[in-house]
Amino acid sequence: MGTVAGHGRFVHLTGQVAWDADERLVGAGDVAAQTEQTFRNIAALLQQIGGQMNDIVSVTTWFVRDGDLSAIQTVRARWLDFPNPPASTSVRVAGLGDPGFLVELTPVAVIPEDRLLLPA
């Protein structure tokens, strides 16, 4: 993690997928449901370290099926609906870590120092 001139710290989350708390796939075959669960997971992780969704500055979206990007973007727009939405990259791939995964999101956030709950 690198410090950003007193404005906060970059936090790179690992790629997030549509697992529930028991690591079971949520939304098998349904990219919108998987994207929704993935954003819930991201929000929960950020909250654990003092972050908020509007701290996200970029998101890389990995998806496997042609035609799914529109559904992914619709869900993304609901979760990242703030004045300066994050930069975004979308990459169509042949597959992800499990054949059931249709989408994976890799966010980067900048969390202000006064909220960050990570060791310095």
Sole residue written with tokens 């990995």? 62
pLDDT in tens, 64-120: 999 999 999 999 999 999 888 999 999 999 999 999 999 999 999 999 989 988 665
Helix (H, G, I), strand (E, B) or coil at 15: coil
Going by their DSSP bridges, the two strands 103-111 and 87-92 should be labelled as unpaired
Where exactly are the structural domains of the chain?
Answer: 10-111
In CATH terms, the superfamily for domain 10-111 is RutC-like (3.30.1330.40)
In angstroms, the CA 42 to CA 14 distance is 10
Predicted TM-score (pTM) of the model is 0.90
